Structure 1
Amino acid sequence: MTADSEDDLQESLTALAGALTGAQPLTVTLRHVASLAVSAVPGADGAGLTLLEQSGPDTIVASADFVEEVDAAQYGIGEGPCLLAVATRTTQWSGSLGGEEDRWPRFGPQAGRMGVHSALSVPLLLGERVVGALNIYAHGRDAFDQHSIAIGEEFSGPAAVTASHALLLEESRRMTAHLQKALTSRATIDQAIGIVLSRTGKTPHEAFEVLRRQSQQDHIKLSDVAAQVVEQALARARSGTRSRPRIPGPVIRGD
């Protein structure tokens, strides 16, 4: 390893250690990781990072537009270095995507037509688990030698940890947002039930059934029906009128 490449790798690893913050979205963190990979791996012109999510679609980011196009072709065709790296848990590389490449007979020529002839895909491993893959591309042929491959594999370890932790943070944010939304919806429904109670004298269970029937009749969510009831009541209160709030059909009829 040359002194310059060693310095580039160390600088990238140092930046990688500080890449994870709770404030930035998952895709921002992953795109930063991909950009650091370009700086670390000799010969790289661009990089993409795919993170496998068990709870939904995989997250795919790229450091450059041409990487997005190559990755889209790879995943659309269903073959390529990234897919093979994940399937075999081993590093895959090629310096002749547009030429003789038996492993990817469809993807290789298409990547070559896009002006990309070299690829290096490294699986992101956490113990025995594959969390994703780092895909590094170059326009020229035979851009990645054993030196580049070694650096890519060394970079992939910390990258896997950063990407995995970023995903955990994102999932935590998603869960928190989901719970907050659920709590808000529950509070709104309770408020609407209270309005129906004061309007009709029904029991809490009967008031809930009024809202539920209105939801089914209008083909909208129960929480949306409740929000309408609450908004109408607030509008009446702000207007200063003593008119009773307009509650959806079943409430007005008192049935």
Structure 2
Amino acid sequence: MAREQRLARVFVEIADSLIDDFDVLDLLQRLSTRCVELLDVSAAGILLADAQGELQVIAASDEHTRLLELFARQHDQGPCVECFRVGAARTNIDLGRPEAAAAWPRFTPRARETGFVTTHAIPLRLRDRVVGALNLFQTSVHRLDEDEIALAQALADVATIAILQQRTLERSHVENTQLNHALASRILVEQVKGVLAERWDTSVDEAFVAFRSYARSQHLRLTDLARRIVDGTFDTSVIPAPETHV
């Protein structure tokens, strides 16, 4: 399928999701995956600021990216953290250059160990308000051109609108409610991923795919299903386990 067609399908998919009771966590998870598909990057992660202004991981295209994002936030450094603070994109950062190691002495070697050689950070913003950042990683040296960066910003802007969607976007308490709800949902889902991965003796990525596929097939919100699993009111044996590969 041509890139233009894939892009059109992504925005239709997002538009279809923006209903009164949409699942923001599932939408952001899909968006991080679509970033990988559309921008020819290796991995993507979305971070949101909590009520205290601290960045928290909300979605990632794979588990390695989630761990790297957690590392970046924990040590309060990295392009994504910097992007959020200044509200401007940081793109085509070569992690092999001495400047990167000097700027982020803990983040850079960890990213290199994970296999990433280039990174980009795009702000999640609405007008002059920044609520998070989109982090893109590449395992090969390939510069994103101006059109690709503009597309990345457009996807980040769509994510921001989805997060802040309410009838009155300018009410700060609405913003905080949406962000706090999304972050709390992520914590629940992380717990369930770990429980299912241990139960099935599989990776957390495979466990999440199985969990998410079941929720969507049953028209259940990820958060609602995760809460039922955590409080013990849902029988997880009805969820088809991931196929094991020998």
**In structure 2, what is the Cα distance between the partners aligned to 1:83 and 1:33?**
20
Deviation at 1:20, TM superposition (A): 3.4
**Aligned AA (2:67):** E
Percent identity at matched positions? 23
**In structure 1, what is the Cα distance between the partners aligned to 2:65 and 2:26?**
16
Counterparts in 2 of 1:146 and 1:160: CA distance versus 1, 3 Å = same
Deviation at 1:93, TM superposition (A): 1.9
**Aligned AA (2:177):** E
**In structure 2, what is the Cα distance between the partners aligned to 1:21 and 1:98?**
43
**In structure 1, what is the Cα distance between the partners aligned to 2:34 and 2:156?**
11
> Does the aligned pair in 2 maintain the 1:34–1:47 contact within 8 Å?
yes
**In structure 1, what is the Cα distance between the partners aligned to 2:104 and 2:53?**
27
Per-residue deviation, residues 9-29 of structure 1 (Å, max 9, x unmatched)? 322222222233555644223
Unmatched segments (≥5 aa) in structure 2: 167-172, 182-246
Query: After superposition, where does 1:122-137 map in structure 2 within 5 Å?
Result: 122-137=122-137
* Alignment of 1:161 onto 2:167: no
Per-residue deviation, residues 126-161 of structure 1 (Å, max 9, x unmatched)? 111111111111211235333321211122222210
Question: 1:171: which partner in 2?
Answer: 177
Counterparts in 2 of 1:169 and 1:93: CA distance versus 1, 3 Å = closer
**Aligned AA (1:105):** P
SS at match of 1:18: helix
Per-residue deviation, residues 38-94 of structure 1 (Å, max 9, x unmatched)? 2232x2122111122327874522111111122122112221111111111111123
**In structure 2, what is the Cα distance between the partners aligned to 1:59 and 1:27?**
11
Question: 1:80: which partner in 2?
Answer: 78
**In structure 1, what is the Cα distance between the partners aligned to 2:150 and 2:103?**
21
**In structure 1, what is the Cα distance between the partners aligned to 2:95 and 2:9?**
30
**In structure 1, what is the Cα distance between the partners aligned to 2:83 and 2:53?**
21
Counterparts in 2 of 1:36 and 1:89: CA distance versus 1, 3 Å = same
> Does the aligned pair in 1 maintain the 2:120–2:136 contact within 8 Å?
yes
- From 22, 35, 40, the equivalent of 2:33 is 35
* Alignment of 1:54 onto 2:51: yes
Tell me the TM-score normalized by structure 1: 0.57
**Aligned AA (2:85):** A
Unmatched segments (≥5 aa) in structure 1: 176-255
Question: 2:111: which partner in 1?
Answer: 111
* Alignment of 1:8 onto 2:6: yes
Per-residue deviation, residues 82-113 of structure 1 (Å, max 9, x unmatched)? 11111111111234213332432331222011
SS at match of 2:41: coil
What value does the CA root-mean-square deviation take over the aligned residues? 3.1
Tell me the TM-score normalized by structure 2: 0.59
**In structure 2, what is the Cα distance between the partners aligned to 1:5 and 1:115?**
26
**Aligned AA (1:171):** T
29-38 or 15-24, which deviates more: 15-24
SS at match of 2:29: helix
> Does the aligned pair in 2 maintain the 1:45–1:137 contact within 8 Å?
yes
